[in-house]
Amino acid sequence: MIVQSPRTFAVRPSPQSVTLPSPEMDERLFRIRHVALDMDGTIYRGGTLFQATGPFLALLDQLGIGFTFLTNNPSKSVADYLLHLEGMGVRVKSEQLYTSTQATLEYLRETKPSIRRLFVLGTPSMNEEFVRAGYTLLPDDPQEVPDAVVVGFDTTLDYSRLCRAAWWIRHGKPFFATNPDRVCPTDEPTVLVDCGSICAALQAATGRAPDAVLGKPDPAMLRGILHRHGLTPEQLAMVGDRLYTDVVMAHQAGALGVLVLTGEATAEEAARHRPPPDLVVADIAELGERLRAARQRNKA
């Protein structure tokens, strides 16, 4: 069940955001059977739900279109996200949520099964996900040698642990990042330094980039949805506010790439991006109307 919270705000459409209707885009939108939705910057910002979110999710249900929330933000566990969403009036099931922490765990299980001891820069919620998955997390101690270093969006980042991570990376330990995002969208008067920026500091200190960066734009984030729901790429739309994660991943996976202008990217940046988004909309309300209209026109 989806309930719209009273703590919402509207995003006014910008004339620059409108991608004009075309028969080709109508046909692509008509084929959509599932929507992968970025979260922060797309359905809410920080702790504030966009006014369009409740009606949009209700419209998807009316149109028979499924949805999955995807987030590159590993600072919360799946359980935390479900509570976060419920607190804003959006109730979903755990199978409708996929995070970059889950993507990182799947990557380690499938490609690095010998790695069991980790030095992690992450929040307590993220750390708990790794512990529940059977990994041993190590303290800031030069005698406790890890198999690998994992860096996430650590909002509890401690300087000495940052230095210890650099120490192990410089000593050749495998180095993995949960996501490439440089900043996290927020409705607060600050800049939230995200995993990509933490990794940039570690790379500057050690001369090594991460061996693998999980989360978006890795198309594996979308392949799981395709397999789970028996979809082909042209039946899936990836909707998000970032060009270098959401849009790039959509293109790599063969899905429809929809950019919303409620988060990081601007219309001007979208126009310069190569390849450009398949569709640029002011917000998810505009996308909903485009999906509805495409179905009406194709039924006529």
The tens digit of pLDDT for each residue in 198-228 reads: 999 999 999 999 999 999 999 988 988 898 8
What pLDDT does 1 receive?
38
| pLDDT > 90 in the chain, percent | 81
- What 3-state class would DSSP assign to 155? coil
Helix ranges (DSSP H) in the chain: 23-30, 53-63, 78-87, 100-111, 124-132, 159-170, 195-206, 220-229, 248-253, 267-272, 284-299
Q: What angle do CA 185, 187, 190 make, to 5 degrees?
A: 75
Q: Is the pLDDT of residue 68 over 70?
A: yes
pLDDT in the model for residue 16:
44
To the nearest 10 degrees (0 to 180), the angle between helices 100-111 and 124-132 is 30
- pLDDT (tens digit, 9 = 90+) per residue, 84-137? 999 999 999 999 999 999 999 989 999 999 999 999 999 999 999 999 999 999
pLDDT at residue 91 in the model? 92
Query: Tell me, what's the pLDDT at 300?
Result: 62
Distances (CA, A) of 216 to 181, 269, 271: 9, 19, 21
Q: Does residue 17 have a pLDDT over 50?
A: no
Per-residue DSSP letters for 73-86?
-TTS-HHHHHHHHH
Task: List Cα–Cα distances, 77 to 14, 73, 90, in angstroms.
Answer: 34, 9, 17
Q: What is the pTM of this model?
A: 0.80
Average per-residue pLDDT in the chain? 91
Domains and CATH numbers, the chain: 8-72+216-299 (3.40.50.1000), 102-213 (3.40.50.1000)
**What Å distances lie between residue 136 and 122, 129, 144, 260, CA to CA?**
14, 11, 11, 39
Out of 2-16, 138-152, 199-213, 220-234, pick the least confident.
Answer: 2-16
| Residue 184, pLDDT above cutoff 50 | yes
Q: Express as a percent the part of the chain with pLDDT over 70.
A: 93
Tokens found for residue 55: 């009606």
19: nearest Cα among 227, 236, 280: 280
Residue 299's pLDDT band (boundaries 50, 70, 90)? confident
How high is the pLDDT of residue 9? 45
> What SS3 state is found at 166?
helix
Q: What pLDDT is recorded for position 223?
A: 85
Cα-based torsion angle of the residue sequence 196, 201, 206, 208 in order, rounded to the nearest 10 degrees = 20
pLDDT at 239: 98
